[in-house]
Amino acid sequence: MQNIIFIAPPAAGKGTQSHLLKEIYGYEHISTGDMLREAVASESALGLEVKNIMDKGDLVSDDLMINLIKNKLTNIKGKPFILDGFPRTLNQALALDKLLNDSLYQVIYLKLDINEAIKRIEGRLTCSCGKTYNVFDDKLQPKQNGICDKCGRKLVKRNDDNVESFKVRYENFLTNTEKLIKYYDDKNKLHIIDVNRNVDDIFKDISKVVTND
Ligand code: AMP
């Protein structure tokens, strides 16, 4: 099974697709955003350092992120993984290649229109277990209003899911993506998937990459 790296603008559905991949293929799901949000919730030293940066929609420093991923990859001991949210800069991509020592991976770029992204940000609700919902999408509604289907906890709106932070996150994405896309395209590892579609159709295309069809 191929390791998978997602590159995507905010609200493109990388979390949702990662959860499906984890359920069906048994991947380790490594979400740097979730790891940082857990650190913020537990008020650890890392959490206190990154809270304001995240709330504004800015990027956490490369050094900190590379260290975080280095530890995580050591912990999962060679199991197949999905990287959801890392790398976000060319520096991070270069560091990742050094850490992976030739492990095989494919890169999936989830392409989304900005207007659709804003709409998704406005409707998104998340659970602390990592599952995400969207009140504007029939297929992504929780069964019970405001409650996670998976663990029963209360759904919340992310601090950075507002139009102001979104703009900063989207700008950051545009600034860095071009270099990342070129880097992975040159390595013949890039797959572009249009995500202005429903979850199931997107998942079918992603599965083709995973299974090498
Ligand atoms: P996400 O859940 O992937 O949207 O990430 C939420 C926030 O966490 C981002 O807006 C950044 O502030 C921070 N973050 C997550 N991953 C990275 C990364 N690889 N590099 C820098 N900042 C990150």
Domain count of the fold of the chain: 1
Q: Which two tokens stand for residue 118?
A: 């804003």
Report the distance separating Cα 96 and Cα 90, nearest Å: 10
Q: Residue 95: inside a domain, yes or no?
A: yes
Q: Residue 143: inside a domain, yes or no?
A: no
- Read off the CATH number of the domain in which 182 is found: 3.40.50.300
Q: Residue 10: inside a domain, yes or no?
A: yes
pLDDT (0 to 100) of residue 84: 96
pLDDT (0 to 100) of residue 212: 82
Whole-number Å distance, alpha carbon 166 to ligand 1 midpoint, is: 12
- State which residues form the domain around 8: 3-27+80-113+164-210
Q: Residue 193: inside a domain, yes or no?
A: yes
* Mean local confidence (pLDDT), 28-43: 95
* Mean local confidence (pLDDT), 128-149: 92
Q: Is the CB of 130 under 6 A from ligand 1?
A: no
pLDDT (0 to 100) of residue 130: 85
Q: Is the CB of 86 under 6 A from ligand 1?
A: yes
pLDDT (0 to 100) of residue 99: 94
Report the distance separating Cα 79 and Cα 196, nearest Å: 31
Catalytic residue ranges = 14, 88, 124, 158, 169
pLDDT (0 to 100) of residue 101: 77
pLDDT (0 to 100) of residue 157: 95
pLDDT (0 to 100) of residue 213: 65
Pocket test residue of 19, 46, 54 for ligand 1, highest count of atoms within 8 A of CB: 54
Q: Residue 142: inside a domain, yes or no?
A: no
Q: Residue 106: inside a domain, yes or no?
A: yes
CA angle 46, 80, 44 (to 5 degrees): 10
Q: Residue 105: inside a domain, yes or no?
A: yes
Cβ–Cβ under 8 Å, residues 49 and 88: no
How, if at all, do strands 124-126 and 132-134 pair?
antiparallel
